[in-house]
Amino acid sequence: MTDLLRISPAIAERFPTYRGLVLRATGLTNGPSTDRSRAMLREAETQVRQRFGTTPPAEHPHLVAWQDAFRAFGVKPKKMMNSAEALITRVMKGGELPAINGLADAYNAVSVRFAVPCGGEDLAHVVGPVTLKVADGTELFETNKDGAHLTDHPAPGEVVWADEAGVTCRAWNWRQGTRTRLTEDTQEAYFLFDALPPMTAEELEWAGNMLETLLAELSPGCQITRVRLGDWAT
């Protein structure tokens, strides 16, 4: 597990305060969204509306940190918004968090509660180690556009998560690819939280604790291990 996700030296040098929390889960039981997973989303929406009632999501300190990081590698954060800010903004504009499947509902609920980007990848479709790296623009990115499959590429210089087969998530935590996304058949997965200061290590662990609780509720008997990436010393 310690070799499953890596940070390239170039990223470690450019973003030395980054820390990631990884939950690897086996023995999962996924399926369509349930009444319980939808309730997780509705509860999270209520918490978001209370928390951001008078504060625009774009002004939240942790989300501001991600906007600055995106600009640092040449991405306009209003055009390619980090996943947590995009979901929170959707809620604050009167929308609902999308019900996708049980596992995806769980991590999205935690993501907006803690204002931290989070994604989940199906390990059955991950090819080799996954590295946080600077893209050269030739990497493959499997996605959908207008309901049809599309093979795209990141921009040269873009920060991406990528395995040996291509990009798993573009613009660090903007958009996940379709190849490794969680499906109703997922039995083994990893869930990744991306954090920058001012989010503390303690707050990141709290987010991990909540997701671990929800995963255990949805998949009784699943086994979860944690790995910490990046700077946990400060």
Give the pLDDT of residue 72.
97
Q: Which two tokens stand for residue 99?
A: 């019900």
Give the pLDDT of residue 171.
98
What does the alpha-carbon distance between residue 125 and residue 182 come to, in Å, rounded to a whole number? 10
Q: Cα-Cα-Cα-Cα dihedral of 196, 199, 201, 205, to 10°?
A: -110
What does the alpha-carbon distance between residue 220 and residue 157 come to, in Å, rounded to a whole number? 42
Burial 138-153 (b: 16+ CB within 10 A, else e): ebebbbeeeeeeeeeb
Q: Show Cβ contacts of residue 57 under 8 Å, excluding neighbours closer than 6 positions.
A: 63, 85, 88, 89, 92, 115
What's the length of the chain?
A: 234
What does the alpha-carbon distance between residue 18 and residue 38 come to, in Å, rounded to a whole number? 31
Give the pLDDT of residue 117.
98
Check: CB of residue 91 under 8 Å from CB of residue 72.
no
Give the pLDDT of residue 1.
47
In terms of Cα–Cα distance, which of 33, 177, 190 is closest to 121? Answer: 190
Neighbours of 193 (CB within 10 A): 27
Q: Where are the domains of the chain?
A: 5-230
What does the alpha-carbon distance between residue 75 and residue 159 come to, in Å, rounded to a whole number? 9
Check: CB of residue 158 under 8 Å from CB of residue 134.
yes
Tens-binned pLDDT, residue by residue, of the chain (234 aa):
458 999 999 999 999 999 999 999 999 999 999 999 999 999 999 999 999 998 999 999 999 999 999 999 999 999 999 999 999 999 999 999 999 999 999 999 999 999 999 999 999 999 999 999 999 999 999 998 777 788 999 999 999 999 999 999 999 999 999 999 999 999 999 999 999 999 999 999 999 999 999 999 999 999 999 999 998 876
Q: Show Cβ contacts of residue 39 under 8 Å, excluding neighbours closer than 6 positions.
A: none
CATH class (in words) of the domain with range 5-230:
alpha beta
Query: For residue 23, how many C-alpha atoms fall within 13 Å in the half-sphere facing its CB?
Result: 26
User: What's this model's pTM, rounded to 2 decimal places?
Assistant: 0.96
